[in-house]
């Protein structure tokens, strides 16, 4: 729809990634007029590991089982049956996951989610190429000024606009970068990797940098997402060049050396940031606004995934939005129930993951021992539960 036309909405969702799309789908039967804004034109790439956790698909089934089933038809796609964890000493452990999951390039996956909004949420107006320049909370509404086009007014704004959320920056005190709660990573696509298996995601831990890992994820059609993520405080302390370190690991790590001898890299190695959940306390709502997904720092600190928590938080924001309109209460006090719901249903697990990540980050011997012990009868389920 042309951006030259002025629109007034009940709800404006900023960011059309997984959390924004899930929020719009959660509001599809609410009768509310919803605007879904994104600075990009879809399909667009989103730099990450491309793993779609089973809990993300489980959450979408709660909205409509057909939503999750339609995503299994995407191409390229690789159905994940197991993960292989390689310890610092080279020992490996294969873990089978109960919930079906898959890997798929975010360019494809996010575009498919937005297509579900187009098809099933007729009350939502999608505004692509619409970046947010400014916003202001007033007594009875919110004023949004896009980077281009006329002002937009609404009663409630939901920030689903990622790690560098414009909504969060403008409505919350600017937080100091807490490197202990932030991860940075790099990712590249490859093909023709020796020994890579469809259906198996691989995680490689090293003795030097346990607060992070190298990954190799099949994404379908013979392509692999290969990357390295690490706690920001480790990167800063040791002055790690992640792109250089990734290339070094691919040629020297005992479980990777030789596997990339005939591999071909597809495109450049690119970087991204991940705000981890489960650590410091920070509000994710206030008068007439909420934050979801990466904007609310909901990345799992142990495994590094965030699509599931993004979708879950978007759905919780939709429930809270409907409650606000039912009671006509958009106060910070009323909105705080959203924070409570996120803390109870998402935050507790992330806090556990954060504590475990910090505990293991200086103990390579313990990781080696856990992988070894998991091969003993009866102990593998315990290890899988601890890390999953």
Mean pLDDT per 10-residue interval, the chain, length 388 residues: 57 98 98 97 96 97 97 97 91 90 98 98 96 94 93 97 94 78 95 97 85 93 96 92 95 92 97 87 93 96 94 98 98 97 96 90 86 79 67
Other Cβ atoms within 10 Å of 230 Cβ, number? 22
Q: Is the peptide bond before 270 cis (omega within 30 degrees of 0)?
A: no
- Domain range summary for the chain, segments of one domain joined by +: 9-77+103-178+278-360, 180-276+363-387
Predicted TM-score of the model (pTM): 0.94
Contacts of 176 (CB under 8 A, 6+ apart): none
Q: In Å, what is the CA distance from 187 to each residue of 204, 246, 270, 272?
A: 14, 9, 5, 8
Alpha helices, H only, the chain: 18-26, 54-63, 65-71, 106-120, 166-171, 232-238, 242-252, 307-327, 332-342, 348-360, 364-373, 380-387
Tokens of 280: 């410091």
Per-residue pLDDT at 3:
39
Fold of 180-276+363-387: D-Amino Acid Oxidase; Chain A, domain 2 (3.30.9)
The radius of gyration of the chain from alpha carbons, rounded to an integer in Å, stands at: 21
> How far, rounded to the nearest angstrom, does the alpha carbon of residue 244 sit from its chain's CA centroid?
25
Whole-Å CA distances, 194 to 103, 215, 222: 19, 15, 11
Distance CA 207, CA 117 (A): 45
Q: So what's the pLDDT on residue 4?
A: 39
**Burial class (CB within 10 angstroms; exposed 0-12, middle 13-18, buried 19+) of 4:** exposed
- For residue 120 the two structure tokens come to 């099933």
Looking at residue 189, what is its pLDDT? 98
Record: fold of 9-77+103-178+278-360: FAD/NAD(P)-binding domain (3.50.50)
């Amino acid at each position: 729809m042309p951006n030259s036309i002025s629109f007034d909405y009940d709800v404006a969702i900023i960011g059309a990634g997984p959390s924004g799309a899930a929020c719009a789908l959660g509001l599809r039967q609410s009768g509310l007029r919803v605007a879904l804004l994104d600075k990009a034109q879809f399909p667009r790439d989103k730099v990450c590991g491309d793993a779609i956790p089973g809990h993300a698909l489980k959450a979408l089934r709660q909205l409509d089982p057909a939503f999750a089933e339609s995503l299994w038809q995407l191409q390229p796609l690789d159905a994940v049956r197991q993960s292989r964890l390689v310890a610092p000493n080279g020992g490996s452990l294969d873990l089978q996951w109960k919930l079906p999951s898959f890997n798929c390039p975010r360019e494809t996956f996010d575009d498919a989610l937005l297509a579900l909004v187009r098809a099933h949420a007729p009350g939502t107006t999608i505004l692509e190429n619409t970046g947010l320049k400014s916003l202001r909370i007033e007594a009875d509404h919110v004023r949004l000024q896009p980077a281009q086009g006329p002002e937009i007014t609404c009663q409630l704004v939901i920030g689903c606009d990622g790690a560098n959320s414009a909504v969060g920056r403008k409505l919350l005190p600017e937080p100091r970068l807490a490197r202990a709660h932030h991860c940075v990573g790099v990712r590249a696509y490859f093909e023709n990797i020796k020994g890579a298996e469809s259906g198996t995601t691989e995680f490689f831990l090293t003795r030097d940098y346990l607060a992070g890992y190298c990954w190799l994820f099949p994404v379908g059609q013979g392509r692999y997402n290969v990357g390295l993520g690490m706690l920001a405080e480790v990167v800063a302390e040791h002055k790690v060049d992640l792109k250089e370190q990734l290339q070094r690991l691919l040629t020297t790590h005992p479980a990777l050396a030789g596997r990339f001898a005939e591999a071909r890299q597809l495109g450049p190695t690119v970087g991204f940031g991940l705000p981890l959940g489960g650590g410091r306390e920070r509000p994710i709502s206030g008068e007439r606004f909420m934050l979801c997904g990466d904007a609310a720092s909901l990345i799992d600190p142990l495994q590094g995934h965030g699509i599931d928590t993004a979708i879950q938080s978007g759905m919780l924001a939709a429930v809270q939005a409907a409650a606000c309109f039912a009671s006509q209460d958009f106060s910070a006090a009323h909105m705080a129930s959203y924070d409570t719901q996120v803390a109870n249903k998402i935050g507790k697990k992330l806090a556990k993951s954060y504590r475990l990540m910090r505990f293991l980050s200086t103990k390579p011997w313990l990781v080696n021992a856990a992988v070894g012990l998991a091969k003993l009868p009866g102990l593998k389920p315990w290890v899988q539960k601890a890390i999953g």
